[in-house]
Amino acid sequence: MHKFNPEHLERLMSIERQLDISPEKVLREAGLKSGQIFADIGAGPGFFTIPAARIIGPETIAFAVDTQAEMLIDLRDRRNPPDNVILMKSEEYEIPLGDFEADFTLLAFVLHETPDKVRLLQEIRRIMKPGATLLVLDWVKKEEDKGPPLEERISDKEARAFVEDAGFDVIQLSPLNPSHYRIIARRPA
C-alpha cells in the first residue's frame, strides 16, 4: 500500500488538476454550505481545504487533517490558508477530533491508500454529526498514465461496499470525470 509521496505535492495543486477537478464546484454539488464545520481527511496541501474554508465562511472551522506532517507544513507555509483553517496531524486510524464534530467530511483520493478501509471510515463516522455528509472521491479502477497503479485502485462498487459496511447510507455514486468517481453518503441520525 503506497502513500502519496510529499516530494510530488506540487502535482496536487497543479493547473492540470484544477482543470480535471474544480474543488469548489465538487464541494458545492455535494452540499457543502456556509456555516458547516468541514473536515478534510487526507487534506494534503489544501487543494480542497482552502476552497471549503471560503464556502463555509469565516465563522466556522475547516479542519485540515493529514498523517503526513510535510503536507500540513506546506499548507501552512506556502498556501496562505484562511484563518478558519485548523491543521491537525493524525494517525492512520485516529483522527484528533471529538465525537460528532463535523457537518461535512471529505475523503479525497485516500481510501485506496488505506489498508483497513472500513476501520478508517468508522473513525470518520465517529467524528461526524448525525445526518452529516461524507464525500468520497477516488480513482476509477483502470490503467492510466496518472494516479496510482491499477492494482492499488478500488472500484466504485468496492468503495460503496466499504462505505456501507462502515455504517453510512449511500445517497449517490456517480462518475466525477473519466478518471474519478464520487460517493455522497450520510451518517444516519
- Cell numbers 509521496 correspond to 5
Entry pTM:
0.93
How would you class 62 by CB atoms within 10 Å of its CB: exposed for 0-12, middle for 13-18, buried for 19 or more?
A: buried
Contacts of 27 (CB under 8 A, 6+ apart): 48, 51, 52, 55, 104, 106, 135
Cα–Cα distance measured from residue 18 to residue 82, given in angstroms and rounded to the nearest whole number: 19
CA angle 97, 59, 43 (to 5 degrees): 45
Question: DSSP states of 6-56 as a string?
Answer: GGGGGGGG-HHHHHH--HHHHHHHTT--TT--EEEET-TTTTTHHHHHHHH
Scanning the chain, the segments in alpha helix (DSSP H) are 15-20, 23-29, 49-56, 69-78, 117-127, 156-165
Instruction: List pLDDT tens digits, range 24-46.
Output: 999 999 999 999 999 999 999 99
C-alpha–C-alpha distance, residues 62 and 22, integer Å: 18
Domain ranges of the chain: 6-186
**pLDDT tens figures, 46-99:** 999 999 999 999 999 999 999 999 989 999 998 889 999 999 999 999 999 999
How far apart CA 30 and CA 47 sit, in angstroms, is 16
The region of weakest confidence among 121-125, 147-151, 155-159, 182-186 is: 147-151
Q: Which CATH number fits domain 6-186: 3.40.50.970, 3.40.190.10, 3.40.50.1360, 3.40.50.150?
A: 3.40.50.150
